[in-house]
Every structure is written in structure tokens, then in C-alpha cells.
Chain A
Amino acid sequence: MFTSPAVLGFILFAAGPMLASLVMSFTNYSVIGDVKFIGFDNYTRLFTGEAPFYFKSIMVTVYLVVLNVPLGIIGAFLVALLLNNKVRGWSILRLVYYIPTIVPIVASAMIWMWMMNPDFGLLNYLLEELHLPTSKWLFGEDSVIPSLVMMAVWSTGNIMVVFLAGLQGVPHHLFEAIEIDGGGTFRKLIHVTLPLMTPIIFFNAVMHMIASMQTFLQAYIITDGGPNNSSLFYVYYLYREAFTFQNIGGSTAMAWVLFVGIATMTGLAFLTSKKWVFYEGDD
């Protein structure tokens, strides 16, 4: 009885629309014309390569995920370790590292675009001063995804905060045990901190992977999927299909393919987790 608002909310605002979009994915709904059921046509169009650049958008997204997840997790973990050392002013530092996360992405994108300007940007200026090769950054076909990952790693403050909370929960007596055995900082990290942190690393990695697979805003604000479709992320492709080409039916089919893809990847992650994630109280 007391759950009824939540259940109703779920039915009205989540399950209902999902069901509706599933039905739509079997139609040619385009807002403009008449709606017809077309069976699996939307799906076959995707997998037979009839939809231009569809596979390219999958490759682009996979490339981003492969780069972004490890770098983001490692980066955030290192910062969390640093902050966990209770250096003087660590609370200020924590704030400094967290700020990029709350800056609206539009604002930070603009600043990065300036910095990455191939002709007048700060980054290339620094590289030139150091006599290093410059880059086209966000505006080059090969460098756009690494540039976007660089921007993304810079704003992983929320992951960092979760890590920090986890690190502060690592029991002290285990460290003392290592100290008695004559182990140093490195051993503490390898034998105590990391194993105890695996559940949190796992959680963050899965969440970060799901978020990366749904990358949209960067392409939408900065690159328009370019240059030459080299940042045509899956969700941006889907958005374009729906609102530029008015093909709502086809785009809902894409959304369902993505849903199944994310569910599969998450499932796989859970399967591997048995091998490396350590929960206290496990044998």
C-alpha cells in the first residue's frame, strides 16, 4: 500500500513509455505521415548496414568506452588516494577536484574548445613552447575522441568522491598489521587497499561504462558528430535519426538495441566480477 505512489510513478513514467517505445519501434512513425506497422524492418535496416554510418557510430562509441572507462577510473582513484592522505588543506583540494563536475558541461566545453583551438589555443601554444608536436585536438579526425576523453577524465569528481568514501572505510588495523610485518606504502596499497576497494571499483566501472555508452552531449555541443563522423556517438546518431530525419520509429529501435547492448555488457561485467571483486565476509 505505501509503495503505491512509487509503483504508479514507475508505471506511468517509466514502464509505460518504455512499452510505448517498444511498440513504436515496429512502426514507421515519423510525426508527419501515417503510422504503419512494419514488423522488424527498423531492426533489419540497422543490422544489414542499410542505415548509413550505423556501424561507424557503434565503433566510435566502443572506442570511447574503451579509452574513457579505464582512464576515468584510474584517474579518479589516484586523486582519491592523494586526498585520502590527509595532506594539509585536503578539504579544499577535494573541493577543487570536485568543482569541474558541477560546472555545466556547456560552459566547460566552451573553455576546452578555446584551449584546444589548433591555431590560437593555449594547449598548442604550450606544446610549441616546449617544441613538441601540436595537435588538432577536438577538430581533427584522429584526435577528437582522445580529446573528449581528456575532458571527461577532468570531470570525474563524483567517481572520486565515491572512492574517497570507500578509502576512508578501509579498517586501520589491517595497515598496522602490514607495518608490523615491515611492509611499506606500496604493499599497503596492493594487499589491503585495492582488494577492499574492489566492490567500489566495480560499481564505479559499471556505472561509468553505462554513462560512456550513452555519451551524447559532447557530440551535440562541440563536434556535431564530426569531423567526418569520427565522433558520431550512438546516442547522438539516435537523436539525429529522431529529430533531424524525423524517423521516430527507427530511432526507438536503435534505443532498444542500445538497451540490450548495455544490459549485455553489464551482465558480462557481473560475470567477470566473481573472479576479482572481493566482498568482506566472503570465503
Chain B
Amino acid sequence: MHNISKRMFTAVVLIIMVSMLVAGCGSNNNTSTNGSASANNAGSSETPSTVDSKKDPVTLKFTYWGSPYEKAAMEAAVANFEKKYDYIKVNAQHIPADYETKLTAMVAGNEAPDIGYVRDFMALPLAEEGKLHNIFDFIDQDPELNKEDFLEQAFIYWAPEKSFGMYTAMESYGMFYNKELFKEAGVAELPTTADKALNWDQLIEIAKKLTLDKKGRNANDPNFDHNQIRQYGINFAANFVGYMPLVSSAGGDYISEDGQSFGLTQPESIDMIQKMSDLINVHHVAPSPAESKSIPAAAASIQSKQVAILMTGQWVLLDLGKSGVDFGIGIMPKIKYQVSSPGFGVASIFQSSKHPEEAYLFWKWLANPETSMDLHANGLWMPLMKKYYTDPEFIAKWADVKPAHPDGYKEAIMETGLNNFKKHPSAYVKNFVRIDSIVQPAIERTYFGKTTAEDAMKSIEQEVNALIQGRYDK
């Protein structure tokens, strides 16, 4: 009996070991790992074994996020890429939610993708620890491309001269509104050129006329009931994405110029955050974080007339264009400076990749607007390459395409994005995620009207300063 159980035990252990070995093999890249796959690999010490440069098949793992619509467009881009480079197979994994969690788990399990989307705040520490390639190492070697072909502001740097890549696409902020509601309220359409941009008081006036309670009275009416609002004049994100473009416009910043102290306690920043809180609590033209949680997503809220003006990134054009709603575009309001901001995602090549050359080929493919022109033409993305902003022939390929790009688009969104660009703090503040976990609740307290912006920001100043580690861009 004892013998049998011992044998049994050994058998079980053996089975487990064998299955682990098999699994281990399976998780390896299913390419013949005999050195570099690319025969004309510059820094490679291997000499190709055969004279003809028939390339070994290579499989790239690529992870990305995006709506179902983006997924379809990405799959088409991947298929075209595989057609052009028949020896490369791209195993594209669409991760619609919880992207950081999954990527963290992949990196921890030595299963990191060869190339993947990464949120800026996660990419910066990864790059500092040497987990991401400096994209300039590839671009400088590339006879077809120059760094200057791209928009300089699209690169995110973790140190001088060191960038792990560009935004997955350009973005730019603006105001998007339901034209029908403007007509009903007798409000003129929003300005689209920088010289006519609204100041803050003008914005409040317009928003008041567009905010209606359940009985149809607007916010200027003495009997207006702000507990029964049916239609909000304006909406914006309740976090830094919402206030930072305006704080920058007012001349404030998230962190001080020298990267040593908290920036939202600067008078300009406090004033702006207070102004945003007043939109909610004094003028009652914007939903509080509580109400905005339950208003449908961006484009749908304009379509359903729950919101008249939406201050956000131009990616909403995709949904607005598809919704069939009659919408217009306005340039961001101007406090002191005209400011527009980007998105957050970056496409990066991981150091752990066994096929960096092929990963770069794919990176180039993604960075080239031609490979995903429909995503640009339908309003979701803006091109990363300069000539698409300067050469009328190339501009026409995307910025003239209706319905996603209504009249005024080029001045209000495209040119502002080109000339008045300011990155979000998540791309230049060190330790941003931790800091913002302290800042965000304080912002919420302000927006809920529980405290003034000054008290809220001053109350966390010490705590934030203890977490500040500097800036990546200085």
C-alpha cells in the first residue's frame, strides 16, 4: 500500500512536471529562436546562415485598447501590414478594459508584448526602468523617415532625447454642441477662430441660456429651479482631463516650473478650479460629479439633449458623426492663453521583445496615417505627421471629410492642436498617479460645493509636496 502511494505520488509529480514543461514551451514565441530573424539587422552579430535573405517567420505580440469600431479598423490595419510583410504575423490582442492591470500582469509574468499601447503615466516609469525602447534609436537608423516628419509635440520623453514613442494619435480639445438647442435658445454659434475665442464670462452667459429646468425655464429666469435641471448648458470631465486645459489657459500648472512643488496652489490654478466649481454650484449650468456620473457618455448626452455643450477631446467626433445629430464645433475658451491638450496613449516597443526590428516596422505602420485613414477621416484620430497639417492635399484626406469634421474644424481644432498644444500632467509629472489619488478627492470636494478651491488645494499641499519627485520634461 505504502509502495503504491509512493509510486502514485511520483507519477503525479512527473505528470505535473511534464505538463509544466509543455506549457513552458507553449508560452515561448513560436518562432525558431535561432538568433535574429531579420537578416539585414544592423547591430546583429549573427551572420545569416543562408545567402538568400529568405526571412524566418516572426510573430509579434501587440496589445491595444479602443472601441469595437477601433478594433475593426485596427484589425484591417494589421491585415494590410501582414500582406506587405508576409514573414511577420501580428498577434493583436484587443484589451477593451482594465488595460493597465492586464499589462502589469503580462510584464510581471515575462509575457510583455513586443509592441503595445501604454498609458503615459505607466509608460514613464516603465521606460525609466529600461523596459521600453527609445524610439529615436530606430528612427535615426531609418533611411525612410526623419524625426522631423512627425509633430514634435507628439513624442513623450522620459529624459532628454529619450522618447518611448508618440501618442497613438494626435488629439485636440474643443467645445462640441447641439446646434438645435442653440437655435431654440436663440444663442449664436460658438466662435471657431482664436481671435474670437470666448472669455470665461461670455461662456457663463451662453451656458446660462442653455441650461433649462424641467419646466423649461433657463438659468437666468428668477424662478429657475436648479434642483430640477433637465438640460445642462455645459459639461466637462470631473478629473484633471477636464480642468487642466483651462488651468493651463489661465497660466497655472499641476506642478511648479522647477518641478519642486505642487502647482494647483498657485493663484491662477486655484482661481480656475474655483471658476469651474462655480459653474456647478453658483451658476448651476454644469452637472456636479454626482449628476454627471449618470449622464450618458459624451456624444450620447448631446444627442439626448441632456447637455448642450461638451468640453472634451475631438475623439467624440466619431460618435457625433455617426449619431446623425446636427452638431457644431467651437474653439476652447481663452483665459490668458489659447490651449489644447492631447490624449494619453502611446505605442511603445518593449525591451523584452526578441524582434525589435519587426516591432519597429509595425510601429511605423501604426504611426503612418495612411494605414488607418478611415479612423482619421471619421473623426477619431488626428495624424501624427506634419504634412497632414500643412499640405492641402493631405489635409483634404481627413480634415475636410464630413460629417465628422464640420465647418470651422480646421481653425477650432486642427490649428489649435498644432499651435497651442499643452500635454496633460500625466505625461510630465513624476509619480503622477499617486499624486492625483490625493488631488482628485480634493477636486471632488470642491465640485460638490463642500469647500472652496483654495481650502481644498491648500489642505492637501503638504501631502502632495511629500510625493513630488520632479518633472520628466525639465
Contact = CB atoms under 8 A, between A and B. Distances in A.
Interface of A: 1, 4-5, 8, 12, 31-33, 52-53, 113-114, 116-121, 136, 138-141, 226-229, 240, 242-246, 248
25 contacts: A1-B4, A4-B5, A12-B16, A31-B108, A32-B126, A32-B129, A33-B129, A52-B438, A118-B291, A119-B291, A119-B294, A121-B294, A138-B293, A139-B291, A139-B293, A140-B290, A226-B444, A227-B448, A228-B444, A228-B445, A228-B448, A228-B450, A240-B437, A243-B104, A246-B122
Interface string B425-446: 0000000011001101100110
A246 B123 CA distance: 12
Contacts of B289: 139, 226-227
Most buried by A among B4, B125, B291, B294: B294
B294 to A, nearest CB: 4
Contacts of B101: 243
B433 A32 contact: no
Interface string B215-232: 000000000000001100
A118 B294 contact: yes
Given A140-B290, A244-B433, A245-B434, A4 B9 contact: yes
Contacts, number: 83
Given A52-B463, A120-B294, A228 B441 contact: yes
Interface of B: 1, 4-5, 8-9, 12, 16, 98, 100-101, 104, 107-108, 122, 125-126, 129, 131, 229-230, 287, 289-291, 293-295, 306, 433-434, 437-438, 440-441, 444-445, 448, 450, 463
Contacts of B438: 52
A33 B450 CA distance: 40
Contact of A248 (B108, B291, B433): B108
B463 A139 contact: no
B178 to A, nearest CB: 17
Among B4, B108, B230, B438, find the residue whose CB has the most chain A CB atoms closer than 10 A. Answer: B108
Given A32-B126, A245-B433, A5 B291 contact: no
Given A1-B4, A243-B104, A139 B294 contact: yes
B448 A243 contact: no
Contacts of A117: 294
A31 B290 CA distance: 35
Contact of A246 (B16, B125, B437): B125
A31 B444 contact: no
Contacts of A140: 290
Nearest to B125: A32
Contacts of A243: 98, 100-101, 104
Contact of A227 (B131, B230, B290): B290
Nearest to B230: A119
Given A32-B107, A52-B463, A227-B444, A8 B16 contact: yes
B443 to A, nearest CB: 9
A115 B180 CA distance: 28
> Which are the 4 A-B pairs with shortest beta-carbon distances?
A139-B290, A1-B5, A117-B294, A243-B101
Nearest to A144: B290
A246 to B, nearest CB: 6
A113 B294 CA distance: 7
Contacts of B291: 118-119, 139
B465 to A, nearest CB: 13
Contacts of B108: 31, 248
A7 B463 CA distance: 48
A12 B4 CA distance: 22
Nearest to A243: B101
Contacts of B229: 119
A5 B126 CA distance: 40
Contacts of A242: 104
Nearest to A113: B294
A242 B105 CA distance: 10
A155 B107 CA distance: 37
B164 to A, nearest CB: 13
A116 B440 CA distance: 23
Nearest to B129: A32
A1 B8 contact: yes
Nearest to B7: A1
B104 A31 contact: yes
Nearest to B2: A1
A248 B1 CA distance: 45
Nearest to B106: A31
Contact of B100 (A4, A8, A116, A244): A244
The residue in A113, A114, A243 that gathers the most chain B C-beta atoms within 10 A of its C-beta is A243
A33 B131 CA distance: 9
Nearest to B434: A245
Contacts of A52: 437-438, 463
Contacts of A53: 437, 441
Contact of A136 (B100, B290, B444): B290
